[in-house]
């Protein structure tokens, strides 16, 4: 049975258990399990215990608290936490302690969530296996020899292992959904602009989005409700009210049209994954959904358009790491040029350097039109593909990944091979729509398979509703 934070919150509200007791149960379990998983870069149990006591005291005094007050949560180490070091799993920020909270962290605190630590990731969110962390590799709780996926591998592994069952990740090309699929938990990449990016250390600003990991869709819906909403600090956040995602979960989904794009079931898809997804689609049909065929014809250009876009933006976003104001600074530099060059040579790992170089090239005068602008035109075509497809269906269902989790070290020597593990997820970021990965059976090795459900812009309510009823109906 998956762990439910929503149920735990109900017990907290009923005073059947105190926040302090939740912590005393969690922390030893977390520390023990984390020795195998290496899911966390930084743990802050003392701070979490102290905050748990505060919540208990306030509850005892009869103060009105958020319904979720006292729930523990892990936060990906790409999201700024005031007073807790935020490293992006990079030598560059190994000692960086932000003087401010990300908007989502501020919201978590306002709701009384207790941050237990910062989770490991691919350096600067660049990677698909968490093997690009400058510190250590995180392991998949389903099989310790395998990667948890990435870049939010620490958050996915923690959520799947219940240490705790709620975590935050970020998703630029699949970095929430792919590790959720690999580890066997739920992961949501919301519509671009649904959740504030203020305080999310930028990788590719036009694609990045913060989202929740959980063991249940219900918890995912609860956490999205906390995170979502327009933020005056983020000009790209979307205005308008946030629906009550939890209340909507039980609505009637009969007649929902599920689009199946042939392009996502083509060559390269592992037959066992395909078989599990097909079973998943049957379950949806059993729930009264109607399956229709749709086309997303520009899918094959998605990976190329994605890498041109994200590397270009990364080369710009990562220019600030020069050792002047914050972060690592190289010793013994002769002049400012040497200082920046040495600082960056020492502070960044190989994949980050590779992407900065690619992106610098993409934006160079003489290449800008051929690479960056062309990628933006492809992006527009992909966006239109989705708009057209959503004219025929309400949601789209695909596999989240072409294979289940691979072994550590298996793909590290071939970056292109690694990039292809995001083949089904990057287009969703390019289009700016929402995508969720929900557990959908296991392959013959017992490894989790993830089914991706995609909604139009701001279609999270319907998306979560169908995913929730699917999760309850589908025997894993």
Partner 1 sequence: MPEFEPVIGLEVHTELNTASKVFCDDPTVFGAEPNTQVSPISLGLPGVLPVLNRAAFEKALKTAIALGCEIPERTTFDRKHYYYPDLPKNYQISQQYEPLGTKGAVDIHLKDGSTKTIRINNIHLEEDAGKLIHPDTPAARGLSWVDLNRAGMPLLEIVTEPDIDTLEELEVFMQTLRSILRYLDVSDCKMQEGSLRFELNLSMRPVGAKELGTKTEVKNVGSIKAVLRAARYEIKRQSELLEAGERVIQETRLWDDDRGETRSMRSKEVAKDYRYFPDPDLPAVRISADWMGRIRAELPELEDAKRRRFVAEYGIPEYDAGVLATDRALADYFETCCRMHASPKAFSNWIMVELLRELQNREMEIEDCPLTAPRLAELVRMVEQGTISNNIAKDVLKEVMETNESPARIVESKGLSQVSDEAALLAVVHEVIAANPGPAQDVREGKEKALGFLMGQVMRKTQGKANPGVCKALLERELGSG
Sequence-ordered list of residues with C-beta below 8 angstroms from that of 227, at least 6 positions apart, any chain: 104, 107, 168, 190, 195, 210, 211, 212
Asked if 202 interacts with partner 1 (CB under 8 A), we say yes
Per-residue tokens: 145: 């020899």
Q: How far is the CB of 51 from partner 1 (least distance, A)?
A: 22
| CA-angle at 245, arms to 258 and 399, nearest 5° | 35
Select from 206, 230, 333, 412 the one that contacts partner 1 (CB under 8 A): 206
By CB under 8 A, tell whether 27 contacts partner 1: no
CB of 322 to partner 1, least distance (A): 6
230 binds partner 1 (CB under 8 A): no
CB distance 195 to 102 below 8 Å? no
**Token code pair at residue 293:** 């065929």
Say whether residue 210 binds partner 1 (CB under 8 A).
no
Q: List, by residue number, the catalytic residues.
A: 76, 151, 175
Asked whether position 345 contacts partner 1 by CB under 8 A, the answer is no
For partner 1, which residue of 331, 365, 413, 444 counts as binding (CB under 8 A)?
Answer: 365
Q: Which of 7, 250, 320, 377 binds partner 1 (CB under 8 A)?
A: 320
Point out which residues pair with 396 in neighbouring strands. 259, 454
- φ/ψ of 257, rounded to 5, equals -90, 120
Using rule CB under 8 A, residue 368 touches partner 1? yes
Peptide bond into 151 cis (omega under 30): yes
The answer to the question of residue 330 lying near partner 1 (CB under 8 A) is no
Separation of alpha carbons 391 and 60, rounded Å: 52
Smallest gap from residue 90 Cβ to partner 1 (A):
10
Least spacing, CB of residue 367 vs partner 1, in Å = 10
Contact between 42 and partner 1 per CB under 8 A: no
Stretch near partner 1 under the rule CB under 8 A, chosen from 130-138, 297-305, 364-372, 429-437: 364-372
Q: Which of 1, 46, 232, 416 binds partner 1 (CB under 8 A)?
A: 232
Out of 17, 235, 345, 473, the only residue in the binding site for partner 1 (CB under 8 A) is 235
> Which residues between 52 and 111 bind partner 1 (CB under 8 A)?
79-80, 86, 88, 93, 96, 98-100, 102
Exactly one of 69, 121, 289, 312 binds partner 1 (CB under 8 A); that residue is: 312
Rounded to the nearest whole angstrom, what is the least distance from the CB of residue 29 to partner 1 in the complex? Answer: 31
* CA 11, 15, 17, 18 torsion-angle sign: positive
Q: Does 199 help bind partner 1 (rule: CB under 8 A)?
A: yes
- Which distant-in-sequence residues (6+ apart) come within 8 Å of 22 by Cβ? 8, 12, 52, 70, 71, 72
Q: Does 429 bind partner 1 (CB under 8 A)?
A: no
Q: Omega before 164 cis (within 30°)?
A: yes
Backbone angles phi, psi at 57, to 5 degrees: -60, -45
Question: Which of these ranges, 176-184, 201-209, 289-297, 402-410, lies near partner 1 under the rule CB under 8 A?
Answer: 201-209
Q: Which of 325, 332, 416, 475 binds partner 1 (CB under 8 A)?
A: 325
Pair 403, 443: CB distance under 8 Å? no
Q: Which residue stretch of 261-269, 359-367, 433-441, 468-476 sits at the interface with partner 1 (rule: CB under 8 A)?
A: 359-367
- Contact assessment for residue 344 and residue 322, using Cβ atoms and an 8 Å cutoff: yes
Tally Cβ neighbours within 10 Å of residue 355: 25
Lookup result for tokens 């892990």 = 74
Query: From the CB of residue 445, how many other CB atoms can be counted at a distance below 10 Å?
Result: 11
Contact 195, 209 (CB under 8 A): yes
| The two structure tokens encoding residue 285 | 């049909």
134 binds partner 1 (CB under 8 A): no
Q: What is the size of the binding site for partner 1 (CB under 8 A)? A: 44
Q: Is 247 exposed, middle or buried (0-12, 13-18, 19+ CB in 10 A)?
A: exposed
Residue 338 or 387 having the CB closest to partner 1: 338
Q: Is there binding between residue 340 and partner 1 (CB under 8 A)? A: yes
State the residues that interact with partner 1 by CB under 8 A.
Answer: 79-80, 86, 88, 93, 96, 98-100, 102, 197-202, 204-206, 232-236, 312-313, 315-316, 319-320, 322, 324-327, 336-337, 340, 360, 363-365, 368, 372
């Amino acid at each position: 049975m998956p762990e439910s934070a929503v149920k735990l919150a109900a017990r907290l509200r009923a005073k059947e258990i105190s926040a302090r007791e939740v912590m005393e149960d969690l922390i030893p379990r977390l520390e023990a399990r984390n020795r195998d998983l290496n899911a966390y870069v930084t743990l802050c149990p003392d701070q979490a215990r102290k905050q748990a006591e505060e919540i208990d005291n306030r509850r005892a005094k009869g103060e009105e608290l958020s319904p979720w007050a006292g729930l523990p949560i892990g936060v990906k180490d790409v999201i700024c936490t005031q007073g807790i070091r935020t490293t992006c799993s990079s030598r560059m920020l190994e000692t960086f302690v932000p003087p401010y909270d990300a908007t989502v962290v501020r919201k978590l605190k306002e709701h009384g969530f207790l941050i237990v630590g910062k989770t490991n990731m691919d350096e600067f969110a660049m990677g698909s296996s968490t093997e690009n962390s400058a510190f250590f590799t995180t392991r998949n709780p389903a099989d310790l020899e395998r990667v948890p996926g990435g870049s939010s591998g620490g958050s996915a592994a923690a959520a799947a292992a219940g240490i705790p069952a709620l975590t935050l990740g970020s998703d630029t090309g699949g970095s929430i959904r792919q590790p959720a699929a690999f580890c066997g938990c739920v992961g949501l990449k919301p519509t671009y602009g649904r959740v504030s990016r203020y305080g999310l250390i930028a990788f590719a600003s036009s694609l990045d989005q913060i989202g929740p990991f959980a063991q249940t869709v219900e918890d995912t819906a609860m956490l999205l409700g906390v995170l979502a909403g327009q933020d005056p600090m983020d000009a790209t956040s979307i205005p308008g009210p946030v629906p009550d995602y939890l209340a909507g979960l039980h609505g009637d989904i009969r007649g929902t049209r599920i689009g199946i794009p042939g392009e996502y079931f083509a060559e390269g898809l592992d037959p066992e994954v395909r078989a599990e997804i097909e079973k998943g689609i049957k379950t949806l049909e059993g729930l009264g959904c109607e399956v229709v065929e749709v086309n997303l014809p520009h899918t094959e250009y998605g990976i190329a358009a994605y890498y041109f876009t994200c590397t270009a933006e990364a080369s710009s976003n990562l220019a600030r790491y020069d050792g002047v104001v914050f972060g690592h600074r190289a010793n013994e530099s002769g002049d400012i040029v040497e200082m920046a060059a040495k600082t960056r040579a020492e502070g960044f790992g190989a994949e980050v350097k590779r992407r900065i170089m690619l992106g610098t090239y993409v934006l160079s005068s003489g290449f800008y039109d051929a690479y960056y602008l062309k990628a933006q035109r492809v992006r527009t075509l992909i966006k239109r593909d989705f708009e057209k497809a959503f004219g025929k269906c309400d949601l789209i269902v695909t596999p989240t990944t072409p294979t289940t989790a691979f072994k550590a070290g298996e793909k590290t020597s071939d970056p292109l091979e690694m990039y292809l593990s995001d083949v089904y997820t990057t287009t969703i970021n390019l289009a700016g729509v929402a995508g969720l990965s929900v557990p959908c059976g296991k392959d013959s090795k017992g490894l989790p398979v993830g089914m991706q459900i995609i909604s139009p812009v701001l279609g999270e309510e319907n998306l979560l509703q169908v995913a929730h009823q699917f999760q309850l109906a589908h025997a894993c």
